[in-house]
Amino acid sequence: MNEDVRAFVKQVMLEQDMSQGELARRTGLARPAVTRLLNGTVGKIPENWQRILDELGIEIIAVKKSDR
C-alpha cells in the first residue's frame, strides 16, 4: 500500500480511537504484522490489508488520474 493509504488508515484509526493492538485483535492478525503493514515495511499481502480495510469500513476505489 502506498503512503497515502497508510496515512488514511491511521487517520481512521485515530477517529475510531482504535489502537494497533485492537486492530490486530479484531482482524485476527498479529500486532507486529499490523505494525509492519502500517509502517510500510510490508504491504504486498492483499488479504491482510483487506481485513484491515473491512474492519475500519474503508473501501478503496481506483480512478484514473487526470492527464498532467
Collapsing DSSP to helix, strand or coil, 28 comes out as coil
How far is the first Cα of the chain from the last one, in angstroms, to the nearest whole number? 23
Q: What is the CATH number of domain 3-56?
A: 1.10.260
Reported confidence tier of residue 44, pLDDT bands at 50, 70, 90: low
Tens of pLDDT, residue by residue over 13-33, are 999 999 999 999 999 999 999
The C-alpha angle with vertex 63 and arms to 60 and 64, in degrees rounded to 5, equals: 150
Reported confidence tier of residue 45, pLDDT bands at 50, 70, 90: low
Instruction: Give the domain ranges of the chain.
Output: 3-56
